[in-house]
Structure 1
Amino acid sequence: MFISKMKISNFRSFQKETEFNLVRGINLITGLNGIGKSTILALLTNSTEFKSTNPLEKPYLGDAFRGEFSDVILYDEKSDNYAKNSINKPKSVIYFEDRPSTNLGQYPLSHTYKSSLSSTKKQVTSHKKLKLTAQLLKDIKKDNSFLQSSNQILVKQINKKEIPRFRFLPDSRTINGKQTRAKVTWPTLYLGLSRVYPTGENDSAEVKEIPSDTFLSDLPQIHKNILDEKFELADVTTNSIKGSDAKKYGSGIETENFGALSNSIGQTNLGQILLAVKSFERLKSSLGGEYFGGLLAIDEIDATLHPAAQNELLKYLYDESQKLNLQIVLTTHSLSLIDFFYDLKSLKKNDDYLQVLQLDYKSGSNDIEVVVNPPISRYTNVLTKRMGSLTPSQPKVKVLTEDDVARWFLEKLFEKFNALSSSSHLTNLKLLDVSLGWENLLKLINSDYEYYKNMISIVDPDVSEEKINAKSFEYIEKFNFNKSGGNLFSIPGEKSIENIFYDFIFSESSNKMFEQQKLRNQNITRDMMKNDLVENKELYKDKKNHGNNNFSVKQWYKHNRDLMEYSFDFLFEVNKEDYFKWMSKLNTSAKTISSLLKS
């Protein structure tokens, strides 16, 4: 089971209803500070819980698989003071998929949670200075030797203070014929790494060894691999650390040379993550067929970890997510981690297990939009936009193309490259809205080499090097056709862009595309497309050559533009290696020319 969708409304930055989907594997949420990333984690982990008296079904750190909303979100009287019966009370709706086939009442399709404000009394300890005469203080010291150096005496006072209790409570639902307001029974854990206090900030700390078991036997090795630590695995123990402040807890490893209290914050954070994952592993073993996965939320996973360690940890979490049917939701500000995440996504080719969500403000408003798998350049631009003049802009390199079809295709290709490369210079390319046949385009750039050497020209895929050389243009050779750092390129392929799509759609290469639910819902199949060619043959005739009854692939492409938009991603995946190799060369040219223009 996993949480497939979430809606939030009337709460903090999510005043307008905001809806987004989650994948069953790893969801990486990024965005500016204060935009609502932690709010999402708090609401997600508040929605379910799993309690058990069986020690094997409890986390290694903690008493139950649950997220405490109050540990993340504190009540703010100014922003959270809603009338008790207000119709605009903060609300979240959680949607579940792949629910267990038994007892569906316990596992609803969706569950709604609304804010609730009450109060509770908390024990507060204070110290009051006793008002004593000099003689009385002297007499007290005389009878209590440990007070000899004291100039005053404090008396401990314990009082009850009423504090607000702000929660999100589930709506009532029916389970086995009975009404209940219980949360959905499903294990969840929340780790707020940026909120972990260094052990040294406690007045004292209690260290206890966590007894090793089958599940923890490889934890020291995993810990060592991720952080590239230099210790021997023999005699390594894993310890829990509980500070004098009850909420300050963590973990640490102990070796022959150093103890748990000497662990860095990064080591402590990693220990907590690994123990959380191991908790789910132990739970799965204990529950057997009654285990339906779980949710692990980690706030600011990059906090205190070296970039190389972040990457190794991400690979580990991906593998464990699949093994344990564990849905993981992470937040980060790290550009290097986002970059690596996209590399991993490209390598694994598994969109069901890897997704980036960027939170941003809609243009001209304070409303939140959620962008799915944005190009890295988008997030970088958001950051640099806030930095203003601190980041110098790069000059745009002008690009000549044959027509609007080529420009659309190139924009789609560049978007893919920008999303997977942290060093893309294709964002500095400006596709000019000028249409020229390839021969006229070559004549133009050949007419003034000194001027056009600081521009890039891209011709269609059906323009080969042989065709170009046959024209014997004087300066064309200087443009270094299809070479890194060159100025003249042809889009990969041997046919026109329209023919490339035509061949793809009517070949077995597009099988995966036609299997998608979206096309099936519209009854779009390859056979239907073939019938369409016959039924609409008049529509697809060559309109430019009167009296010509021949089929025109350009007309077919024009009248099926929506399908071309949809099929691009699938066409790209089939030819990804060739496209990336070509765009890498183009990227070098964009970088070189942009630097020349800047100088």
Structure 2
Amino acid sequence: MILKVVIDKFRLAEDLEIEIGKNLTAICGQNGTMKSTLLGCIAQPFGVGRGRKKDDKKEKYSDCMIVNQKFYTDINDIFKFSKEYDLPGNHVYHVYFDKDSNIMKQEEKIVYENPLQVKSRKRPVGEKKHIRFVTGKERSTGKGNIPIPVVYLGLSRLYPIGEVDNLKENSLELSNEEIKFLKENYSEILLSFDSEEYKDEIKLIDKNKISTGGISTNSYDWQTISAGQDNIGKIILTVLEFKRLKEKFKENYFGGILLIDELEATLYPGAQKKLIEFLNRYSARYDIKVIFTTHSLEIIEELLNSKTYNNSKVNFLDKTRGSLINKTRIDYNEIRNNILVKINEENNNRKEIKIDVFFEDEEGEYLFKRIVLSNIKKYCTLYPLKIGITNIASISNKISQLENGIIIYDADYNKKSVNYKNNFKKDVENHKNSLFFPGAKSLEKECLEILLNMKMNDKFWDECKCNSKQKFQAQRLKYTSTSKPEREQDKQWFLKERKNFGTNGKKLMEKFEVKYRKEIEEFNKELEKKLINQLKKNYGIVKERLK
């Protein structure tokens, strides 16, 4: 469904990218890092039952509601806007959708823009609120919010029932299967193991303009349960609402979004871990994107270190260096030290800060090592993939390691070539960190042409083992006489024969470097920019230049 949310500008956030996991997404960081604000941004462009269209009346979804009165959330429900500092037009962000998800393959598409723009606009004079948020660049009929149900559970749920006056009590209509689901998971998350003691009659309690579930046992009633018990009941019943939506709307259910502010609030560490186990299990079963804020080191450690959560993402927001940045490739100890404001302990085994750089083959790795400046090279881990160039492009946005790295394609597929077209062109342009080697052809073809165009009396031949053009041409015939495709012939020649042109082809590459000196300089500048962007995105390291 959602791949990421990119904040162009929104208060202290600029060019901030939030990655969304397939199941769970954690947004963590110190206070004042816009965690709750980001939940509001995610909620705003989605929702069903607003009643603005004939086929989207609230009543259509009423039999799926248990403890929530709506399946949409306005950004103003989550936080307030300042008339002095939050000016119309100063809030712009984009939501990116997975092209392969079911919502993108509908005959009558519910997502009409990818990425989907959300922007603040000025409200008419006289209205209570001074800004409103508009979804989509297009404002024609039928354009607007995306019809995906969203529920936001905020800090207002944290008041213990016993501390609230004027409670209203009604019976909650649940099936036997739903009661069993509630009791079993309630017991498992709280590690209470007394599900048989819970009464089947669950109450619907209205408190502070929100509803929750009142669960009683044979020993105490719902009025005396703790805030933690109340929160767990509310979360489980909300998951049951998504289950009802999925079962009722079937192929017209495209998944849901559950947003939880301060997931761990009022829960002890053991219950916190069991809660994310529950959410991970049922987010997959009922197609729910569960996105939550947290300060819990127990939850963060579990998400980062357990293989159970491979389909989850941790976004760590940090403003300790001034601007707000998101660290998505970060270990638990660094998060712990940041949240606890502790000095990092020395760790000689700490992973080096590097960016993965990918090529089609070993020739690409060889060229990279020859032409890239040493101050740039030291930030790179090199990977020749040994698969076709179009195959690399097609998976570049589907594998996180490729998405978080830099891909360098051979020059014969660059934007000026006949090969730069169709799906390859789309895939390359969708991967922001792609670039092309200098030149007009593949490295091996460039080197062959340099040698073929060289005069027989050029002093170059005297400096090489292959000390005449005639010998070069004779050796070349060994590779052209095979039935292999021409490109494969060229590759084999380059890999086996370059040693005859200086140490590991040094003399030959010097000719290449002279021919493409300006392009090589531009290539290094572009590569440096992309590395700086990835260092900021992956590690939160802000640099103006690589030294």
- Aligned residue for 2:185, secondary structure, equals helix
| Unmatched tracts of structure 1, length 5 or more | 122-161, 400-409, 416-496, 547-561, 567-599
Aligned position for 2:41: 43
Partner Cα distance (1:192, 1:381) in 2: 27
Q: Displacement, 1:302?
A: 1.0
Cα distance change of structure 1 residues 61 and 107 upon mapping to structure 2, 3 Å threshold: farther
Written as runs of structure 1 = structure 2, the 5 A alignment for 1:122-521 is 163-164=128-129, 166-171=131-136, 173=138, 179-180=141-142, 182-193=144-155, 196-213=158-175, 214-233=177-196, 235-243=199-207, 245-247=208-210, 249-344=211-306, 346-347=307-308, 350=310, 353-361=311-319, 363=321, 365-366=322-323, 368-384=324-340, 386=341, 394=345, 411=351, 516-517=395-396
Match of 2:113 among 108, 117, 142: 108
Cα distance change of structure 1 residues 362 and 203 upon mapping to structure 2, 3 Å threshold: closer
Match of 2:65 among 59, 67, 72: 59
Cα distance change of structure 1 residues 381 and 55 upon mapping to structure 2, 3 Å threshold: closer
Cα distance change of structure 1 residues 396 and 537 upon mapping to structure 2, 3 Å threshold: same
Q: Deviations over 1:513-535 (max 9, x none)?
A: 999437899489xx999984652
Cα distance change of structure 1 residues 533 and 253 upon mapping to structure 2, 3 Å threshold: farther
Q: Is the 8 A contact 1:96 1:109 kept in 2?
A: yes
Match of 1:26 among 24, 28, 31: 24
Q: Is the 8 A contact 1:206 1:242 kept in 2?
A: yes
Cα distance change of structure 1 residues 336 and 513 upon mapping to structure 2, 3 Å threshold: farther
Over aligned residues, Cα RMSD in angstroms? 4.0
- Aligned residue for 2:144, secondary structure, equals coil
Q: Is the 8 A contact 1:27 1:357 kept in 2?
A: yes
Q: Which of 1 and 2 has greater Rg?
A: 1
Q: Displacement, 1:199?
A: 2.3
Report the residue type matching 1:536 in the other structure.
Answer: L
Report the residue type matching 2:336 in the other structure.
Answer: T
Cα distance change of structure 1 residues 291 and 105 upon mapping to structure 2, 3 Å threshold: closer
Q: Is the 8 A contact 1:294 1:326 kept in 2?
A: yes
- Aligned residue for 1:296, secondary structure, equals strand
Q: Deviations over 1:266-314 (max 9, x none)?
A: 0111111111111100100000111111111111111111111111111
Report the residue type matching 1:62 in the other structure.
Answer: N
Q: Is the 8 A contact 1:359 1:370 kept in 2?
A: yes
Q: Is the 8 A contact 1:194 1:299 kept in 2?
A: no
Structure with the largest fraction of strand:
1
Report the residue type matching 2:271 in the other structure.
Answer: A
Q: Displacement, 1:38?
A: 0.6
Report the residue type matching 1:325 in the other structure.
Answer: D
Q: Displacement, 1:371?
A: 1.5
Cα distance change of structure 1 residues 278 and 531 upon mapping to structure 2, 3 Å threshold: farther
| Unmatched tracts of structure 2, length 5 or more | 50-57, 356-380, 414-484, 506-526, 532-547
Cα distance change of structure 1 residues 210 and 543 upon mapping to structure 2, 3 Å threshold: farther
Cα distance change of structure 1 residues 543 and 339 upon mapping to structure 2, 3 Å threshold: farther
Is the aligned partner of 1:536 residue 2:517?
A: no
Partner Cα distance (2:119, 2:354) in 1: 43
Q: Is the 8 A contact 1:194 1:300 kept in 2?
A: no
Partner Cα distance (1:265, 1:96) in 2: 36
Query: When the two structures are superposed, what TM-score results if normalisation uses the length of structure 1?
Result: 0.56
Q: Is the 8 A contact 1:277 1:320 kept in 2?
A: yes
- Aligned residue for 1:254, secondary structure, equals coil
Q: Is the 8 A contact 2:498 2:504 kept in 1?
A: no
Cα distance change of structure 1 residues 8 and 506 upon mapping to structure 2, 3 Å threshold: closer
Query: When the two structures are superposed, what TM-score results if normalisation uses the length of structure 2?
Result: 0.61
Q: Is the 8 A contact 2:153 2:259 kept in 1?
A: yes
Cα distance change of structure 1 residues 10 and 231 upon mapping to structure 2, 3 Å threshold: same
Aligned position for 2:10: 11
Q: Percent identity?
A: 23
Q: Displacement, 1:190?
A: 0.8
Q: Displacement, 1:222?
A: 0.6
